[in-house]
Structures are given as structure tokens and as C-alpha cells.
Chains A and B, each alone.
Chain A
Amino acid sequence: SSELTQDPAVSVALGQTVRITCQGDSLRSYYASWYQQKPGQAPVLVIYGKNNRPSGIPDRFSGSSSGNTASLTITGAQAEDEADYYCNSRDSSGNPHVVFGGGTKLTVL
């Protein structure tokens, strides 16, 4: 089955731009979706599809994709963006399974 690979940790200075990446074969067929999870809370969808934000998600969050790599970009990171971020898609290898990346811990300095 397909896997999604994320860097375990990324840091960004307050107000700067950060990109979190997700790699996997399924991303050649599926857009990644991205979730933000803060300690003790359920994941929250922040990006889905080509580059769509659910209602209430700030426009500093954006998504992009190229080949087998999807990216979540936060432009002008805020202190409240410090969280774990997970990417997700279906497995494209003929199996209808759902896969998650291992998660990226974002620290805002």
C-alpha cells in the first residue's frame, strides 16, 4: 500500500513563511488534504482539493502539489499556528484505503 512521508519537525520565525511537505505515490493521483492538530484536540481540516480552505480557516494557509509531493504553506505564521500537521489521501495503488502522513510538528519561534 502507499505511504505518505512528512518531515517530523519544522520551525518558523513569527511572521515568516513556512512550507510543510508530504511525499507519496498516491499524490500523483490524489490531492493531499491537510489537518492541523493542537494538543488535546481533534484534527481540523485546513486544506483540501487543489487549494481549498474550509470556512473559518485563515487565508494564510494554502496548498499546492507537484508530482508526488504536496505542500502546505503558511504565509506569515502566527503563534497560534504552532501545532502538528498531517497530510492525507486515499491509496492510489488500486486499494481504496486511506493513508496519513506521519505528521510534522511546527514550532513558531
Chain B
Amino acid sequence: QVQLQESGPGLVKPSGTLSLTCAVSGGSISSSNWWSWVRQPPGKGLEWIGEIYHSGSTNYNPSLKSRVTISVDKSKNQFSLKLSSVTAADTAVYYCARGHTAAGTHYYYYYMDVWGKGTTVTVSS
């Protein structure tokens, strides 16, 4: 059973770079899945940050694209997030998740079936 575990600093200074890693266990990051980062500011909803395929292809949320880099390390079976020029508005719980995209008879479908437990990142001096 695939499990995901986020890790990284819990405190980042304003204007600095937030760096997180998601370790994949119980399965291969080279499977046919997209691997996503999702965040949730305190008291607010879920926000998709971006995703990566094992080939290195990425998609990013347009509102964050200029500050986000997602990379994959197949040798370590993990993927990472870097978010630059952070402000207090980037304070959130950050989740990694496994995504599936497929085509049905008349519809496509997309879902995230495995999530990490989340890690809290606070941006503060």
C-alpha cells in the first residue's frame, strides 16, 4: 500500500524559499501517476500547487507558477517542492498526494487517492 510522507523545515523566513520533500513508500514513483502538492492555509480550503510525472513533466497553478518548482528524484523515490519569495500568505499545511487521470466512455476523471499526513509550514521572521 502506497504511503506518502512530507518532510522539511516548519519555519521559513519571509522572502526565503520553502523546500519540502515527499517520500513515496510501498510503491514506485515511476508508476503511471501524477504526484501533486496541495496546501491549506489556516481555516481555509484546499489549493492545488502543482504536479509532476516521473518523466519530469510538470503542471503548475497559474497563480503560483512564477514561484514554484517541483522536481522528482527517481533514485530516492521522492519528489520535492520549492516555493520562492515566501510571505505570510504562504503559511499553510502542505500535503503531497498521488493523482490519477484517465478517460472513461464519455467523461474523463481525475482523483487523488493517497495523501500524506501534511506538514505545517509557517512563514515568519
Contacts and interface: CB of A to CB of B under 8 A. Distances in A.
A23 interface: no
A45 B46 CA distance: 13
Contacts of A89: 109-110
Contacts of A42: 95, 115-118
B110 A88 contact: yes
A97 B113 contact: no
Contacts of B62: 1, 95, 97
Interface string A55-69: 000000000010000
Contacts of B100: 48
Contacts of B48: 97-100
A71 to B, nearest CB: 15
Contacts of B60: 97
Contact of B110 (A35, A43, A44, A90): A90
Main secondary structure on chain A at its contact with chain B? strand
A93 B75 CA distance: 35
A49 interface: yes
Interface string B15-32: 000000000000000000
Residue among A43, A54, A102 with max Cβ neighbours from chain B (10 Å) = A43
Interface of A: 1, 29-31, 33, 35, 37, 42-45, 48-50, 54, 65, 84, 86, 88-90, 92, 95-103
The 8 closest A-B pairs by CB, nearest first: A33-B111, A48-B111, A98-B48, A103-B45, A31-B109, A42-B115, A90-B110, A100-B46
30 contacts: A29-B107, A30-B107, A30-B108, A30-B109, A31-B108, A31-B109, A33-B111, A35-B46, A37-B46, A42-B116, A44-B115, A45-B111, A45-B113, A48-B100, A48-B111, A48-B113, A49-B111, A50-B104, A86-B45, A88-B46, A88-B111, A89-B110, A90-B110, A92-B108, A97-B61, A97-B62, A100-B38, A100-B46, A101-B45, A103-B46
Contacts of A50: 104, 107, 109
Contacts of A98: 36, 48, 51, 59, 99, 110
B73 interface: no
